Amino acid sequence: MSKVFFIGIGGAGMSKLALMFHSFGDEVYGSDVALSSVTEKLKSKGIIVYRGHDSSHITKEFDLVVYSSAIKSDNVELERALSLGIKTLKRGEALAEIVNGYKNIAVSGTHGKTTTTSLIGHIFKSVFGSVNVYVGGMDSEFETFYKSSPYFVIESDESDGSFLYLSPDTLVITNIDKDHLKNYGNSMDNLKKAFLRVAKKANTVIYCADDANATEVGVRLSPSLTYGIKNKSAYIQAFNIQYLNNGLKFRVRFDEGPVNNEGVFVPLYGDKNVLNTLAAILVAKVYGISVDQVANALRTFRPPRRRMEVYKLKNGTVLIDDHADHPTEVSATLKAVRAHFPGKRIIAVFQPHRYSRVAALRELIATPFVDADKIIVMDIYPAFEKEIPGINGNLVFNWIKSYNQNKSVYFEKKENDVINTLLSIVRSGDVVVLLGPGSIGELAEKLVLVYGRVE
């Protein structure tokens, strides 16, 4: 048993890694600038969590200190660990040291990683009984890790380059989009080269043939397998897609012909999740799991938190809570809502994420809202970033208002003001969509308290 300390333990990836070490029998400690429901969950498992960073937290008895990519080099705990000669690893390095010893399936890509990882993990758990799944955040289905299980399904992370430490047995590339470019010299070419570096280490690569950037990387690899909806040359395709109020149903065609006459149902929404499910089906096939077994497993799948999480409210509206903030993902979410809830009025509530992202994307942020009927813009969620002069929520509001001149667009900085605006404009039958990975995630629970939920 080792004694391990996590600096920045409350983050999505760090909390799950801490839980993994704890499950494997290590004595786990950690710290973060603020306590949260995540850190409380860790404490309930027996993990010691300190509020704030203090050098006294680190003693020579620790065998390893793991730190988040958000932790600066002058962090007092990290400096103390280095001065004591304690082994220190970045989150991605610590994860790779464990998972590279397993048959690991790494899910990479700009969008769709969490859902695709969860789908694969759920299928493997249903078929094999036990599987290790590293997916960001505290998801009740994947809180236990098994040293004896041969499989490890991982949500990898290109945002800080940590996926480069992985040596996957199978790599999935969902898509490659313009995001997190600061870590790649603001170059899409460098980002694609990074994906290629990881892919060359994999035994099998699975990529989305509908995505041009993923295809640019994937065609340079062998063996590789493809999936898609639009690209009819993909190895696996979805057809007869039905957009239902409670999810998706579609049939599957491999190169060798259609399979599964009953079709596959999954309680997810939109073409983006047809693609995510196709990726999971293809991974399952690589490991000897049939489409019929997948279809049976997906009947009990529970979508990850805040990935188009649906609440039916007592006032007759539908509330959809979604993590998306990048224009590609926001567009995919709103188009999915249009497909599944035709004829309904869509009210989008959007919280831009990070000053740096807004500065990089600029007016592009405004383009997805053509699929909304009314739009409420919140202030930028900083995610610990310092404000960039001239980049603020009012600027985003003006971009969106300018791009959607025939619609009602509101700017509300405070969550209570958002709720009051919704109370004044929402009608029975509307669909309210919350968009963004920041504090907007707390709004769903508050709206459920206001309106009441249909169980």
pLDDT at residue 385 greater than cutoff 90 = no
In 33-124, the DSSP E strands lie at 48-51, 64-67, 87-90, 103-108
Distance between CA 424 and CA 448 in Å, rounded?
Answer: 16
Domains 3-91 and 309-451 share a fold: no
Residue at 378: amino acid letter = M
> Taking the model in full, what pTM does it have?
0.90
How distant, in Å, are the alpha carbons of 122, 125, 154, 174, 180 from that of 142?
A: 9, 9, 11, 21, 27
Looking at residue 29, its amino acid is Y
In the chain, the amino acid numbered 274 is V
Which pLDDT band, with edges at 50, 70 and 90, does 431 fall under? very high
pLDDT band at 139 (very low <50, low <70, confident <90, very high): low
With bands split at pLDDT 50, 70 and 90, how would you rate the model's confidence at 140? low
Q: Give the start-to-end residue ranges of the domains of the chain.
A: 3-91, 100-298, 309-451
Cβ atoms of 280 and 266 within 8 Å: the answer is: no
Determine the average pLDDT of the residues in 286-303.
94
CATH 3.10.450.50 fits domain 309-451 = no
Please state which architecture CATH assigns to domain 3-91. 3-Layer(aba) Sandwich (3.40)
Which CATH superfamily includes the segment(s) 100-298?
Mur-like, catalytic domain (3.40.1190.10)
Q: Is the dihedral of CA 292, 295, 300, 302 positive or negative?
A: positive
Per-residue pLDDT tens for 180-215? 777 778 789 999 999 999 999 999 999 999 999 999
Residue of higher predicted confidence among 109 and 256: 109
DSSP conformation class of 313: B
pLDDT tens readout for residues 81-127: 999 999 999 999 999 999 998 999 999 999 999 999 999 999 999 99
Q: What is the pLDDT of residue 147?
A: 87
Nearest to 167 by CA among 139, 198, 189: 198
| CA dihedral for 356, 360, 366, 367, sign (positive or negative) | negative
Contact in structure between 429 and 454 (CB atoms under 8 Å): no
Is residue 138 scored above 80 in pLDDT?
no
Q: What is the pLDDT of residues 405-428, one digit of tens each?
A: 999 999 999 899 999 999 999 999
Q: What is the DSSP letter of 24?
A: T
At residue 35, the pLDDT reads: 87
